[in-house]
Chain A
């Protein structure tokens, strides 16, 4: 089954404690992205990657890091989380083909106290 998986699905942490949210896709997609979704603001792109070792900033990259060492994985790293990073996070992937469907993961709800 084609899917994007994220872990953990729910996380409560404290300010300053480094965390990583993993994302993996089994469709051999080139493009992967991370989004955060906040009430009234919609989905905002944090980082995206066009292929292994190729990443670029989206609209809200501050406070986040990513890496793309393997095609299937695209972890999101919060080195020093702060309460304003409390949000619902989605990972997504698609192929580089024109108009190809972007598949979203199930989401990770993060709370930073």
Chain B
């Protein structure tokens, strides 16, 4: 079993839709959780991170972590064509540099 599993998609939605991206993880030793966005031919960029269970909101983006279920989600409200990208979840250890990524979900938001 992979340490982080992510629905690969692709996912295609109309502009304005609410998007839900999900990952599960197996190793509860990792303490922080991140979502990255990667545009074509670019390196990933950090969207959000959190250390605790619950919701964290930043504009149209909400990251949700449920440590008891080992489940992390990213919600995008009022999705825009500029949100079209690959989204990667990641889990990390704050004590080391170890970071494990999901496979990535490719999202297309159609105008």
Measured CB to CB, the residues of A under 8 A from B are: 4, 31-33, 35, 40-45, 48-50, 56, 58-59, 90, 92, 94, 98-99, 101-102, 104-107
Contact = CB atoms under 8 A, between A and B. Distances in A.
Contacts of A48: 96-99
Contacts, number: 61
B46 A50 contact: no
Contact of B94 (A4, A45, A98): A98
13 contacts: A31-B97, A35-B101, A43-B88, A43-B104, A48-B97, A48-B98, A56-B96, A56-B97, A99-B49, A99-B51, A99-B94, A102-B46, A107-B42
Given A33-B99, A42-B102, A94-B97, 19 more contacts: A4-B43, A40-B103, A42-B103, A43-B44, A43-B88, A45-B98, A45-B100, A48-B97, A48-B99, A50-B97, A56-B97, A56-B98, A58-B98, A98-B94, A99-B32, A102-B34, A102-B99, A104-B45, A106-B43
Given A42-B6, A42-B104, A90 B97 contact: no
A42 B88 contact: yes
A56 B98 CA distance: 9
Nearest to B32: A99
A49 B99 CA distance: 12
Size category, B interface: 20 to 34
B43 A104 contact: yes
6 tightest A-B contacts by CB? A104-B43, A48-B97, A42-B103, A43-B101, A31-B97, A101-B46
Contacts of B32: 98-99
Contact of B97 (A4, A40, A41, A49): A49
Nearest to B50: A99
Interface in B72-110: 88, 90, 94, 96-104
